[in-house]
Structure 1
Amino acid sequence: MVNRIDFDRSDSMFQPAGLLGWERAMIDAAIPSPELDHAPIWTESSPPDHVRNGPNYVNLASGLVIGLAVGCGGGVASMLGVAFGGFVILGSVLFVCVVAAAAAFREQRRRVESTAWSAAQHAKFVQRQTEWRRRVHLHELLETQRVSNSPMWYPIAPHRGFEGLDIFGGGIDGWRCILATVGTSLLRAEVAITVLDFTERELADGLATFVSRLGCPVMRVELPHQCSPLDLFGPLAVNDLAEVVAESIASTRRTHPDAAVLRRRDVGLVKSVAEQLNPSLPVTFARLAAGLRILRRIAHEDSRLTRDEVGRLSGLIDIVGTGDRVREEMEYLSSLFDLLADGTPDSPPSPPPCPSTGLLILSTGSAIDERKTTTDHLVFHRVLHSLRRNAEISSGHVLIFALPDRFDEVGVMAMIRHANRNNIRTIMMAPHLRDGMRNLLGSSGNPTVLMKLNNADGARTAGEFVGHGYKFVRSQQSWQGGSTFTHGWGQSLSTSNGATETLGTSTGREDSTSISTSGSPTTLANSRGRSRGSNESTSWSRNYSFTDSVNDSIAESINTSDTDARVYEYTVEPTTVQSLEPTEFILVDTGRSRRVVLGDCNPQYAFMKRVSRQPRSHS
């Protein structure tokens, strides 16, 4: 992951301090220009009157008529022999020519002016259309630039500044990314960081690479191989040593019914042995185990103890080593210290000082589970002791501790409480939300980061912590359909008969008389005629009609109904928590107002383009 990142990019950014990751923003699509549907339209307009109107043909016609009348008068006069008539004819012809020429000139000028006016109107339209296209293109260009240059990712940081952080869930990759992101942003603000890595997975390697590229000092200490947990940050006084050892052992057996009694017994035993050791020599687990052997009467001398130390311890045998339970506890402590001594160097180097700047990584590891568990608790309670005494770790420091599965909530809450009292900010990383760890959810008052939780109970607890909200969901959906088919058939036959008979009689008479006077004598002629007739007709008719009909009808009906109900459900479903990507997280920030944000802690976003430098404002 780190090798693919270009640290030399000038636009790389890990800010503000306490940066957790980045959230993706939805960019509004390009908005069309409001003038897009209002393009200029060419419309033919009427030209002005002096351009639209041509020559006055009425006046022209009147002049021509007058000229022709005068010419005709002159012609008549010339026929009658009057000399003046010739001049009249010549004047009439000239008058008609002048009138016609004037009309032609005015028509030509009108056409030129009309053409020029139309060209000017079209030029204005082209100019308006060009201006419209320019405005639309400019709007589209600005929208395209807005969409292409708008930030896609905004940094996520607590509203009230970084005062601490509680991280629950997530895998190794997610923890590495969020450590690299948060840690780099804090170190850029010149804050010293101490990491307690109990996972044996080198969680802070990515952060160390980032920090070294930034030019900050990095120190790594592997416990207990490079340093004894008891010597962390410097040697302890006898009373403090006994308390740290007893509390570390007690935290591994809190479910024991006599846990409190055993703790006080361990304090007494460790203190009794440590007080008899030479203060000029370091107190190691090997020397403590040797001292317990002396008290148990198993050995009368040991190469790891001086003669004076053996003598002083021998004087406590009858005082300390009485009682079966005491002897059982001494046996347990002796074997435990021997186990711890096997992983500790015989001559450990000088303990690492708590840095005032840069990064200090304290990691634990062992092939034996019991030694690893006890070492984790010893380192944890050694740091807790420094916080209680307000020693070694300076104010303004940032303490990060990645917990394994075996830690309970009592020690973790004590660590956070004492760190806050000393103005030391903490980042607690818990792998699950089982058992007592769920009691830590929201207890510190710090912003909470929820990463992927595969366990169903843990995901449900995370969903409950995020909260519930009202929303409308589809509660009922119904569908009802039906169809109807109707078939009909019918036949009909009709017959009609008819008969018609017609009888008729006609009678006629004609009389005529004629008189002839031509010639002589006059003749008179009469004629008369009569006619009579009759007719008879009969007709028959018969009609048949046959009808055959078939009727089919189909009817279909479909009814659907949806019902939405207002419900009070998870704001973030547990399945969403289970399906998060390794670097995704849900931030629950209780700053000025409670907000829930989905983000990604992959540090590569800091080196990408279109990443904002300022957090996104949430209304």
Structure 2
Amino acid sequence: MTTPVPVSDHLPKLATPGERLGWIFNDRNLYLRKFMEPVPQPAAAPQHLFDKLSRAQHNLTKKIFQVAGGGVGLALLISCCGGSVGASSNGGAYGFLAFLAFAAGIGGAVWLGTAPGRIKAEIAAAQQQLQYQYQQAYAAWDQRRQHHEYQQRQTVDAMNEWGAATPSNSTRRVDIIGGTTYGWEAVLTVFGGSLLATRGPMVLVDFTGEALCGELLTLASMTERTVQQFRLPSEMSRFDLVGGLGANEFVDCLVESMFGDATGATRAERSQDTMLLREVCAVLEPQISVGRLLAALRVLTDRPVQAALTPDEVDRLLDLQPDEVRRQMHQQLRRIEAFLHPLEEMGSESAAPGDADLTCVIAEGDRRNAQAELLKDLLVQWLARRVRQESGPMGSLVLIGADEVNHRAIENLSTLCERRGIRLVLFYAHLREHTLQTIGGGEVALMRLGNHTEAGQAADFIGKGHKFVLSQLTRTLGGNETHTLADTYGESETHGGSSGWSRSHTSGHGGGSSTYSSSGGTNWSQTRNWSQTESNARGQNWSDAQAAQRVYEYTLEPRVLQDLPEYAMVLVKSEGRGAVVQAVEVNPDIVTLPRVSMQPIDLLPLPDRAEAVHPATRQPSQVTASQPEPLAAHDTAAQDAATALNGWGNAVPQQPQYQQQQQPYQGPWGGRQ
């Protein structure tokens, strides 16, 4: 980025030990618990007082008349008795008794008439006393409730609201995919500052050409750490990527960088270039550099006057091949020269960069030209050699814009850093095919992915969760009944008869005789038969079936990745034998907020949903992406499907009832048998 990075007072706070990719928001209000004591309810007046009032009001007028009438009647009766006595001495007594009877009747009537009022006053007094007791109980309850809420608020206010998001200790590599340059700059400031404070010296290579490490450099300077910065190719003379290499290593490094991962290159071409450069370097030893190699190539292309070479070296180079062979190799030599020409000034002022707490190498210019690609490959090889040789202390290695780095080189770097305990951090701008071949060697952090195809691939990488849904319901109920009644009737009648007569005559000398006979006969027969056949067949069938289908859904929808804020990150993190997805904020200004922890927060169990003020089953900033199941896991398909529609698959339907109407048998002539 070309704009200067403002100096902020909170930057040194980021250089606190403990690796942090950012912070996870943990809603402390989810831990608030309700005051479970029920609210006191006002008690009602005793029921017996209402029953007493009901009895007093029942037929009140009738009772008053009965009591008053009884007293008056008794007074009249006594007065009559006293009148019959006359003027005897007992007359005054009868008058007094009559007065008492009259007064008792009237007094009783008055007592009955005022009884409801007295009972109501008694009820009002009881209700007033109960209301006072209720107010006292409610005040005490409200005081306990306020004390409970105060304690809950004090407990929650003591909790940290932002906890550090850290990579797992078991992984050495972090891949950050997607995002904008501003988001990357924030990650570098937060994560880079923690790496410097935790792991020590860092080497950072920026292939974007935007100098995203500016704020990190400011942080390192403010925390009194040594810093060195190189911009390539403008400062190539101060930075020798091949310094200190032997002839074979020098040649292998150049050939690998020239061909890279080009698919059109053949092994024959690589072998020829390797053999040619080794022969040339054998002449240039022990002082081998890119500038001297270019001078040797120019000698072989008939430009013998080179200040970087001695006359003896020129003669030896010309003696390597006959003139005819050199002319045949002219095209090959010029191709190699074209590759190496931009690097001619490399290391002319300094052999190699020294050791510093933060070493930043920034690749400037167009990243698509041949020089940038060659420089990129040389930088990656220089990093691999530095990690392998352990020439200087290194705690972390950061590559920004690793999209176009050969995946074989990335895998080599990852293996070297893993074996030496170095944290490797790779930033990829896109999730393309070659990136998919590389990621997964460690933990993966996803930032905004604008392209829907890349967002879909990222969602597939995070994974899918399965659940059972009710997909089909079938309920059939049927029955059949067959009733067959058959009558068979048959009758036959036969008539027959015979008749005949005969006569015979006999004559002789003695006389004659004659005989006459006749015979006749009649026969008659009648046959009648009938039969009835009855058969009944009844069948019934029913079924109540349901089908549950296992479906897979994204743990995180692709649209969510496309709509992520600029300073947001989704971290796919290993946890135990499973994986979790965490929502991470990478804004460096979060460090200025209250209740921010620079270390991870151990999440406490959330209260039960019935007890929680804000019911929740988990913290919304974290979701489990995968959890291993035992081999004999309990099959919950039937349970999940049964809850989809209440009543299906649980109750056996009533079997159909068929009414059988038996007809009485009728004989062949319609009579009942």
TM-score, normalised by the number of residues in structure 2: 0.59
Q: CA deviation at 1:222?
A: 1.8
Q: Report SS of the residue matched to 2:230.
A: strand
Alignment partner, residue 455 of structure 1 = 451
Distance 1:366-1:119 versus aligned 2 partners, 3 A rule: closer
Alignment partner, residue 19 of structure 1 = 20
Alignment partner, residue 349 of structure 1 = 350
Q: CA deviation at 1:210?
A: 2.0
Q: Of 21, 33, 36, which aligns to 1:34?
A: 36
Q: Is the 8 A contact 1:194 1:398 kept in 2?
A: yes
Q: Partners of 1:384 and 1:230 in 2: how far apart? A: 16
Q: Is the 8 A contact 2:42 2:131 kept in 1?
A: no
Q: Partners of 1:36 and 1:5 in 2: how far apart? A: 53
Alignment partner, residue 461 of structure 2 = 465
Q: Of 600, 625, 636, which aligns to 1:614?
A: 600
Q: CA deviation at 1:249?
A: 0.9
Alignment partner, residue 271 of structure 2 = 264
Alignment partner, residue 366 of structure 1 = 365
Alignment partner, residue 235 of structure 2 = 226
Do structure 1's residue 598 and structure 2's residue 588 form an aligned pair? Answer: no
Within 5 Å, give how 1:201-220 maps onto structure 2.
201-220=210-229
Q: Partners of 1:43 and 1:14 in 2: how far apart? A: 71
Structure 2: tracts of 5 or more residues without a match: 49-126, 473-546, 604-621, 625-673
Aligned residues: 447
Distance 1:319-1:409 versus aligned 2 partners, 3 A rule: farther
Q: Is the 8 A contact 1:296 1:330 kept in 2?
A: yes
Distance 1:3-1:229 versus aligned 2 partners, 3 A rule: closer
Q: Report SS of the residue matched to 2:172.
A: coil
Distance 1:223-1:367 versus aligned 2 partners, 3 A rule: same
Distance 1:142-1:450 versus aligned 2 partners, 3 A rule: same
Alignment partner, residue 376 of structure 1 = 376
Q: Report SS of the residue matched to 1:440.
A: coil
Distance 1:585-1:236 versus aligned 2 partners, 3 A rule: same
Q: Is the 8 A contact 2:455 2:561 kept in 1?
A: yes
Q: Partners of 1:321 and 1:230 in 2: how far apart? A: 36
Q: Partners of 2:294 and 2:311 in 1: how far apart? A: 16
Q: CA deviation at 1:235?
A: 2.2
Q: Is the 8 A contact 1:40 1:129 kept in 2?
A: no
Q: CA deviation at 1:269?
A: 2.7
Q: Partners of 2:456 and 2:240 in 1: how far apart? A: 42
Q: Partners of 1:360 and 1:393 in 2: how far apart? A: 11
Q: Is the 8 A contact 1:39 1:132 kept in 2?
A: no
Q: Partners of 1:433 and 1:306 in 2: how far apart? A: 51
Q: Report SS of the residue matched to 1:604.
A: helix
1:363 corresponds to which letter in structure 2?
Answer: I
Q: Is the 8 A contact 1:170 1:452 kept in 2?
A: yes
1:306 corresponds to which letter in structure 2?
Answer: T
Q: Which moved more, 1:463-472 or 1:223-232?
A: 223-232
CA deviations 1:329-352 (Å, max 9, x no partner) are: 2111112222333xx368323421
Q: Of 324, 336, 342, which aligns to 1:339?
A: 342
Q: Report SS of the residue matched to 1:276.
A: helix
1:382 corresponds to which letter in structure 2?
Answer: W
Q: Report SS of the residue matched to 2:312.
A: helix
Runs of 4+ in 1 over 6 A off after TM superposition: 39-46, 118-127, 472-476
Q: Of 275, 278, 281, which aligns to 1:274?
A: 281
Alignment partner, residue 398 of structure 2 = 400
Q: Which moved more, 1:600-609 or 1:129-138?
A: 129-138
Q: Is the 8 A contact 2:173 2:414 kept in 1?
A: no
Q: Is the 8 A contact 1:399 1:424 kept in 2?
A: yes
Alignment partner, residue 289 of structure 1 = 294
2:374 corresponds to which letter in structure 1?
Answer: T
Distance 1:132-1:603 versus aligned 2 partners, 3 A rule: same
CA deviations 1:388-415 (Å, max 9, x no partner) are: 4x34244x62111123543231211112
Q: Of 437, 458, 480, which aligns to 1:439?
A: 437
Within 5 Å, give how 1:449-598 maps onto structure 2.
449-471=445-467, 567-592=551-576, 593-598=578-583
Q: Which moved more, 1:592-601 or 1:122-131?
A: 122-131
2:380 corresponds to which letter in structure 1?
Answer: F
Q: Partners of 2:150 and 2:44 in 1: how far apart? A: 27
Q: CA deviation at 1:220?
A: 0.9
Q: Partners of 2:163 and 2:424 in 1: how far apart? A: 24
Q: Of 262, 276, 292, which aligns to 1:254?
A: 262
Within 5 Å, give how 1:48-59 maps onto structure 2.
none
Q: Partners of 1:565 and 1:37 in 2: how far apart? A: 46
CA deviations 1:163-221 (Å, max 9, x no partner) are: 22122222212221212222111222252111111110112112222222222222112
Q: CA deviation at 1:250?
A: 1.5
Identity of aligned residues (%): 26
Distance 1:463-1:411 versus aligned 2 partners, 3 A rule: same
Q: Partners of 2:563 and 2:170 in 1: how far apart? A: 29
TM-score, normalised by the number of residues in structure 1: 0.64
Distance 1:127-1:321 versus aligned 2 partners, 3 A rule: farther
Alignment partner, residue 497 of structure 2 = none
Within 5 Å, give how 1:171-210 maps onto structure 2.
171-210=180-219
Q: Report SS of the residue matched to 1:189.
A: helix
Q: Partners of 2:205 and 2:312 in 1: how far apart? A: 38
Distance 1:289-1:321 versus aligned 2 partners, 3 A rule: farther
Q: Is the 8 A contact 2:166 2:600 kept in 1?
A: no
1:371 corresponds to which letter in structure 2?
Answer: Q
Distance 1:467-1:306 versus aligned 2 partners, 3 A rule: same
Q: Which moved more, 1:242-251 or 1:139-148?
A: 139-148
Q: Partners of 2:417 and 2:384 in 1: how far apart? A: 8
Distance 1:399-1:345 versus aligned 2 partners, 3 A rule: closer
Q: Partners of 1:40 and 1:321 in 2: how far apart? A: 114
2:361 corresponds to which letter in structure 1?
Answer: L
Q: Is the 8 A contact 2:236 2:347 kept in 1?
A: no
CA deviations 1:306-351 (Å, max 9, x no partner) are: 3232222222232995584x4322111112222333xx36832342
Q: CA deviation at 1:159?
A: 3.3
Q: Is the 8 A contact 1:153 1:610 kept in 2?
A: yes
Q: Partners of 1:595 and 1:401 in 2: how far apart? A: 25
2:264 corresponds to which letter in structure 1?
Answer: H
Q: Partners of 1:126 and 1:159 in 2: how far apart? A: 57
Q: Is the 8 A contact 2:242 2:250 kept in 1?
A: no
Q: Partners of 2:565 and 2:434 in 1: how far apart? A: 26
CA deviations 1:370-426 (Å, max 9, x no partner) are: 2222111111112223344x34244x6211112354323121111212222333331
